[in-house]
Structure 1
Amino acid sequence: MVDYPVSNTGLVSKEIIPTQLQDRCTEQYRDIYWSLFEQSGICMANLDLELRVLEANRLFTQQFGRTSNNVHGQNICDFLHPSVQGKVKNEFIRLTDGQNPRFADQIVAMGAKDSVFLGEMTGIAVRGSAGRVGTIMVLVKPEASETGPQMVVGRRKLFSPVHARILEGVAAGESTVQLAAKLFLSRGGVEYHVTSLLRKLKVTNRPALISKGYSMGVFAVGQWPPRVRPEYVSS
């Protein structure tokens, strides 16, 4: 793969344009391409076939709380929360193999200062003149949030094993009676633990509890029945 240089301003040089565009476009069209890339109003990045960032616009670096220098060359999966890395990586593999032309998926991403944010990531396979996939275009649309990015609290052990099992049961739609029988607790015991979880995650009801859990990356995305990731559970 080609190692693309960074300009003195810290931005990737506008000369770094996919080869097929350099072959076909005049200087004027290359300027238009770069202008659209920088001024699109969308977080954008170009990847090589090993999913490393070749170039990224200012919005992308700002959203992820990084500089151009430490974005360039990083694997795109490093910008995602571990709970979604495997699922999204498989989507990218299908792009690079030519199985799919594009994908759009919900993500939990790592932002600035140990925060996470929700959003949608779109990947588009860019084919060269020979018809083979040469690069991947990535678009990231953060989800609007009144409270802003959520802090990554899951880097410490957040839940006891009992709390984790109750959280999984609530996420799966199990009732208090079902949880009590499953965990050998009284109904009052289940409600006590649910109330404790509501206070811990600073929410007021069960649906909000589960939504907050997913927004923090507590649950593995795309898995059913829901499972709390092991790194969130104390031994």
Structure 2
Amino acid sequence: MKVSALVDSPQISTGRGAAGGVGVAGRREECSSSDQSGVCMAVLDPELTVRQANQDFFHHFATAAAACADVLDSSAVSGSSTTAPDVCGRNFRDLVHPSVRQPLMRQFERLLEGRRDRFAARVVALRPTGDAFTGSLTASAVRGYHPDPTAVLVLMRSGEGTEDDAVVAPRKKLLSEIDARILEGIAAGLSTIPLASRLYLSRQGVEYHVTGLLRKLKVPNRAALVSRAYAMGVLTVGTWPPRVVDDFIK
């Protein structure tokens, strides 16, 4: 399915009706395209609140008891408590992993400011259980008859079942405060002596913590440690100096 077919659809209207227009157009595309299955679709308002979505989106992001509706159906009413699962009304930023949240929100900001029409990105998203999974996301601005976007159309295909999913960690406390600072230093390229000086530790103390980190993340060396930390979402993507996501610190 081509994103342009939805974004440029004549069904799109302005104001509050914009989201509904995308829903009708998206539903028609869904029915006419044989490769639509497995693609999560959602309509966000300018505040990035989820207003409408399809069944695949709910399968990944709604709780099990609420994931049976499909409010991209043209008969559904946006915001209706009888048709919209619990993910409707949530901000999209809360559905993505903290490690990718900041750079992804910057891209959405540029989209809503009119500095670009669409963007594509790899994301790490969160299920209601807290489990993480990877996917490819495309977001497109919907403008109707006004220059400013009235909605954002999000398409996401999960990488479920891939090797990437196997290394994405759930949000749990993995590291002590000192381990987090050492991991940040290693990711920034610091060797043992500068780390020891910065953290007021002996060289042996730093090596002890590094060995513990290698064992905990099941990697053979420091380079692999940094790579695994980014893959697990422990280190925040797109920031310098490197920073451990607070959710992983005990």
TM over 0.5: yes
Matches within 5 A, 1:134-145: 134-143=150-159, 144-145=162-163
Partners of 1:83 and 1:229 within 8 A in 2:
yes
Determine the structure 1 residue equivalent to 2:56.
59
Structure-2 change in CA distance of 1:29 and 1:180 (3 Å): closer
Correspondence for 1:128 among 131, 138, 144: 144
Structure 2 residue aligned with 1:19: 13
Offset, 1:213? 2.1
Asked if residue 233 in structure 1 is aligned to residue 249 in structure 2, the reply is yes
SS at match of 2:166: coil
- AA matched with 2:29: Y
Q: Distance in 1 between matches of 2:199 and 2:46?
A: 47
Q: Which moved more, 1:159-168 or 1:214-223?
A: 214-223
Q: Given that residues 49 and 134 in structure 1 are in contact (C-alpha distance below 8 angstroms), is that contact kept between their aligned partners in structure 2?
A: yes
Q: Given the superposition, is the C-alpha separation of residues 128 and 105 from structure 1 closer, same or farther in structure 2, using an over 3 Å criterion?
A: same
CA 118–32 in structure 1, closer or farther in 2 if over 3 Å, else same: closer
Match of 1:46 among 43, 63, 66: 43
Task: After TM superposition, give the deviation of residue 73 of structure 1 in Å.
Answer: 2.4
Change beyond 3 A, Cα 1:153–1:80: closer
Structure-2 change in CA distance of 1:138 and 1:112 (3 Å): same
Task: Measure how far apart 1:117 and its partner are.
Answer: 2.1
* 2:138 alignment partner AA: T
Deviation of 1:19 after TM superposition, in Å, equals 3.2
CA contact (8 A) 2:167 2:232 kept: no
Match of 2:31 in 1: 35
Deviations 1:142-191 (A, max 9, x none): 3432663744243x3x3223211210111112223433343344444322
Q: Structure 1: which 5+ residue stretches go unaligned?
A: 1-16
Amino acid at match of 1:35: C
Secondary structure (helix, strand or coil) at the match of 1:63 reads helix
Q: 1:30 to 1:162 in 2, by over 3 A?
A: closer
Matches of 1:106 and 1:146, distance apart in 2:
11
Q: State the aligned residue count.
A: 212
Partner of 1:13: none
Look up the match of 2:5. Answer: none
**In the alignment, which residue of structure 1 is the partner of 2:182?**
166
CA contact (8 A) 2:134 2:165 kept: no
CA separation of 1:209 and 1:45: change in aligned 2, threshold 3 A = same
Tell me: CA distance 1:58–1:107, structure 2 relative to 1, closer, same or farther (3 Å).
Answer: same
TM-score by length of 1: 0.73
CA RMSD of aligned residues (A): 3.2
Q: Matched residues, percent identical? A: 42
**Structure 1 residues 37 and 61, CA gap change in structure 2 (3 angstroms):** farther
Unaligned runs of 5+ in 2: 1-10, 70-84
Task: Indicate how the Cα distance of structure 1 residues 218 and 92 shifts in structure 2: closer, same or farther if over 3 A, else same.
Answer: same
Moved more, 167-176 or 60-69: 60-69
Distance of aligned partners of 1:30 and 1:179 in 2 relative to their CA distance in 1, 3 Å threshold? closer
Q: Once the two structures are superposed, what CA deviation does each residue of 1:18-45 show, in whole Å capped at 9, x if it has no partner?
A: 43799xx9xx978632425895242221
